[in-house]
Structure 1
Amino acid sequence: MIADIVQAEGAPCPTLVVDSDRLPPGSLASSAELAALRTWLRESGLGRIHKVALYGRSSDAAFDLDYRFVQTLADGADFRAGCGHSLLAATVSAGLPGRVRVRAVTTGDPVVCEPEPGGAYTVRLERAADVSALLPTGRPVDRLCGLPVSIVRYGNPYVFVEAGLLGLSSEEALLAARDDILGRLLRVRTAAARLLGLPAHRALPKIAAVGSYAPGRLSVRAVTVAGWHPSLALTGSTCLAAATVVPGCVPWRLMAGVRGRLTLRTPAGDLQASAAVRAGRLLGVSVHGKRARVLERAVPLPWRIHVTA
């Protein structure tokens, strides 16, 4: 078995991308196989890789690729999360020309990767939904750990906390927030996981602190499984843009009615996202200017990883 190592800009680590059409059915679907893979990555000096993307030709004629994501964790793996950066990594690895329609099997979402001039992509989640359906608790605001927060699900579920209520009164303070703020966010995330009936020690829900310090721009500091995210997950950009059109929730209030293309300021620079809304329905969210590059092609993986009973 061989794999590519692909780095999407803004992702906390590269993705190990595997063409599932070249695997026996069911490979890399068990925790035992993934544990063996993690051990091999560590022993091969690739221990920084915590994301695995499996892709293959789609069985649905409406799509070009089927994509499945696995987030490896210290104590196992999470098969339920989505990762936009890894989806883009799989698309780039596959090398299909032009517009690529991807079925995200893990989350059930349809995603389009559209080439832009200069080698970047617009990544668009095309799941239509009533705006009210984006609130998994049915409320635009819940109170967790003494803080009003908004839990929004569009792709991955995210918990959004207003930065000012964490004592972060400037953009500089938010983007440079330290471990004390990280600890508070992790406690809120754990409470949100319990509220949603999810295991507290897994990857979901995600969480981010959000502030508005300039017109038409949101500043955001997000958390990943290993601590602070260096930028913002592509799924985070998508969900945050979706949250700005949900009346009453934290990002909606911070944007104060501003609509159109949204600038998201992160520690690694600005991102651009836009939500398409009509008659109270979210039609899709696009994240613009996303890039990924192949770091290494055809990395041979040990045979024992893909042998199944």
Structure 2
Amino acid sequence: MTADVVRAEGAPGPTLVLDRDRLPPGTLASRADLLAVRAWLERTGRGHIRKLALYGTSADPAYDLDYRFVQCLPGGAFDFRTGCGHSLLACVAATGRTGPVRVRAVTTGDTVVCEPEPGGAYTVRLVRPAPLSALLPTGRPLDRLCGLRVSLVRFGNPYVFVSAADLGLPTARELYGAGDAVLARLHRVRAAAAAVLGHRPDGAVPKVAVLAADGAEGPAVRAVTVPGWHPSIALTGALCVTAAAAVPGTLPALLARPGTAAPRQSGRLALRLTTPGGTVATSAAVSGSRPTDVAVHGKRAHLVERGLPLPWRIHVTA
């Protein structure tokens, strides 16, 4: 049994990718198996790999692949309720498929299409014609948590969006220079949002991202990952920011300046998100005041290790 290590550009680290079709049924379904994987990664100098992904031929003929994701958390815990767009793209890259790949994200229930672009990049498109009530879990574009205005938005992963100006960081330079004190404050905001949304306070979701109205074609963004600042922004975060920018009254909509900085091109809302790791191009098809699909463009993934032997014994649970 083997695995691949694949890193998507913009991700905080690589993903350990496993082809489910080549593994016994029930592989990595138990915490004991996952702990064995983590211990093996640590022993072999790969302890920085904190994302595990399994893919396989979909049982649903409408899809090419089924994809499951596990986030490793500090202290030996695991989160099975979150998704990771970078890890999903890593799975698609590992397959070597050249055409559009339609993926069923089993963990989150999302439909994601990875479409090849010239030069080896991908457009990653999340298709979700959800009602506005599903996008705004509290039913409001703005809420208040820990003394701050926030927007709680669910498109892919649930996110908490915070205004950088409300943190005293009105420019991208100040936002990107913020340190541990701001990070600790955002962790408290995330915990409060988790309580509102019914998630565990020490889990991976909801995610947090801070936005400043400082970009030429979209907001400047700095996101929080497990356990610190994200070097760029999660692919799911870029999708969620763009989806929220289509909903009037949310912080992303207010800070994206959709009248000027987020023009609609070919019937789509187009943004360029500024992040500490560079710019991210996104777009959304909008029906009324809700997005029906959102895409991140120009995403790449690179194979780091191929055919890595798995030395531990798999305990088949199903």
Amino acid at match of 2:17: V
Amino acid at match of 2:280: L
Aligned twin of 1:292? 301
Aligned twin of 1:169? 170
Aligned twin of 1:226? 227
Aligned twin of 1:78? 79
Structure 2 runs not aligned, ≥5 long = 263-268
What SS is found at the alignment partner of 1:227?
coil
Amino acid at match of 2:63: F
* Aligned mates of 1:140, 1:122 — CA distance in 2: 28
* Aligned mates of 2:315, 2:55 — CA distance in 1: 15
Q: Deviations over 1:284-304 (max 9, x none)?
A: 000000000000100011241
Q: How does 1:1-309 map to 2 (within 5 A)?
A: 1-74=1-74, 75-258=76-259, 259=262, 260-308=269-317
- CA apart distance, 1:214: 3.6
Instruction: Compute the TM-score of the two structures, normalised by the length of structure 2.
Output: 0.94
Q: Deviations over 1:83-122 (max 9, x none)?
A: 0000000000011121111110001101000000111000
* Aligned mates of 1:281, 1:161 — CA distance in 2: 20
Amino acid at match of 1:190: A
RMSD between superposed Cα atoms in Å = 1.2
Number of equivalences: 309
Give the conservation status (yes or no) of the 8 Å contact 2:36–2:312. Answer: no
Amino acid at match of 1:192: A
- CA apart distance, 1:132: 4.1
- CA apart distance, 1:308: 4.1
* Aligned mates of 1:294, 1:127 — CA distance in 2: 29
- CA apart distance, 1:219: 0.4
- CA apart distance, 1:176: 1.9
Amino acid at match of 1:66: D
- CA apart distance, 1:281: 3.7
Structure 1 runs not aligned, ≥5 long = none
- CA apart distance, 1:199: 0.3
Query: Identity of counterpart residues, as a percentage?
Result: 61
* Aligned mates of 1:274, 1:39 — CA distance in 2: 40
